[in-house]
């Protein structure tokens, strides 16, 4: 029987970045912990990892028009609000 676990990942505050997540990871939440942006995902820790591309944007910042984005959530860090999307 495969067991799944919730893992937490630190998010860089960048326009685009890649995280190595286990295949089939289900992103549950984007938020902050100790004023740092995080992503929580339900994963099979034994699954092979694959690169996932994300796009980050502050409120009022432009987003790339040449890709399809899926909104995942928002991390609020004091005066900065960081919106996170997954490139589809």
Question: What are the residue ranges spanned by the domains of the chain?
Answer: 5-87
Tell me what pLDDT residue 55 has: 95
Tell me what pLDDT residue 43 has: 98
Tell me: pLDDT of 2 over 80.
no
Separation between Cα atoms, residue 79 and residue 54, nearest integer Å: 22
Which two structure tokens, joined as six digits, stand for 77? 């860090």
Burial level of 5, CB count in 10 A (0-12/13-18/19+)?
exposed
Residue 82: other Cβ atoms inside 10 A? 20
What pTM was estimated for this model as a whole?
Answer: 0.90
Contact 7, 41 (CB under 8 A): yes
**Residue 1 pLDDT class (50, 70, 90 cuts):** low
Q: How far are the Cα atoms of 1, 3, 32 from residue 38, in angstroms, in the given order?
A: 29, 23, 5
pLDDT in tens, 21-34: 999 999 999 999 99
């Amino acid at each position: 029987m495969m067991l799944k676990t919730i893992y937490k990942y630190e998010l860089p505050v960048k326009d685009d970045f890649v995280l190595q997540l286990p295949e089939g990871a289900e992103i549950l939440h984007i938020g902050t912990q100790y004023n740092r942006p995080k992503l929580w995902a339900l994963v099979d820790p034994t699954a092979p990892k694959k690169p996932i591309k994300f796009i980050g944007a502050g409120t009022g910042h432009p987003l790339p028009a040449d890709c399809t984005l899926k909104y995942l959530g928002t991390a609020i860090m004091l005066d900065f609000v960081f919106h996170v999307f997954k490139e589809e």
